[in-house]
């Protein structure tokens, strides 16, 4: 019997944890949630330039989101000050730029981007699909907030002047823009 499982095969209730002190007490409900399957169309949709983002889960401990990402639409170099990030490429290939290094992340691979480290990515195959996990949770709502900040005028690809629109939203989520995407600098 695995650790954390009761004799009846159910998870034991875990104590509440505060995963973001700026948001007040949060409950980690990952061990209390009902089993379910999320279909491809399930989730909250957002647009990040030409990329399609679907936020699948928002929890205190983590967020899970999927993305169809396009070359030329990648984010600038940035630092997450609150969460770690895993990028699971399921189709295509990206190059992750992490703290001065370039790392190829192909289909079936998972890239880990720790908080506090400058990073971004670029799509190598025109289009790629990925599943991303951020921990602790709270990050994934940023996509909808960026879309709303553009007030229906989001271009298909980021431009240098778009930092003035994205910057305040990123800052509200503890994300610091530190330079352009190296692929396009």
**Model confidence over 7-20: pLDDT tens digits?**
344 333 333 333 44
Give the Cα separation of 58 and 26 in Å (integer): 12
Q: How confident is the model at residue 35 (pLDDT cuts 50, 70, 90)?
A: confident
Any idea which fold 21-184 has? Jelly Rolls (2.60.120)
**Model confidence over 108-153: pLDDT tens digits?**
999 999 999 999 999 999 999 999 999 999 999 999 999 999 998 9
The CA-based angle 93-95-53, given to 5 degrees, is: 65
Q: Are 120 and 75 in contact (CB under 8 A)?
A: yes
Q: What residue spans define the domains of the chain?
A: 21-184
Dump strand ranges (E) for 71-165: 77-80, 84-91, 93-98, 101-106, 110-113, 119-123, 127-135
- Work out the mean pLDDT of the chain and round it to a whole number: 85
Q: pTM for this structure?
A: 0.80
């Amino acid at each position: 019997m695995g650790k954390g499982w009761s004799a009846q095969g159910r998870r034991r209730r875990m104590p509440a944890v505060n995963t973001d002190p700026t948001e007040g007490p949060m409950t980690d409900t990952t061990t209390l949630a009902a089993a379910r399957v999320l279909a491809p169309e399930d989730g909250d949709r957002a647009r990040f330039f030409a990329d399609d983002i679907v936020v699948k889960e928002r929890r205190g401990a983590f967020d899970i989101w999927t993305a169809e990402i396009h070359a030329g639409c990648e984010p600038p170099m940035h630092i997450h000050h609150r969460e770690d990030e895993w990028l699971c490429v399921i189709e295509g290939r990206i190059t992750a730029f992490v703290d001065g290094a370039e790392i190829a992340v192909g289909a079936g691979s998972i890239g880990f981007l720790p908080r506090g480290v400058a990073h971004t990515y670029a799509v190598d195959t025109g289009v790629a699909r990925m599943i991303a996990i951020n921990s602790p949770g709270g990050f994934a709502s940023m996509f909808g907030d960026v879309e709303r900040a553009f007030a229906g005028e989001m271009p298909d690809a980021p431009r240098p002047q778009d930092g003035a629109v994205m910057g305040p939203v990123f800052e509200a989520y503890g994300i610091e823009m530190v330079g352009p995407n190296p692929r396009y600098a």
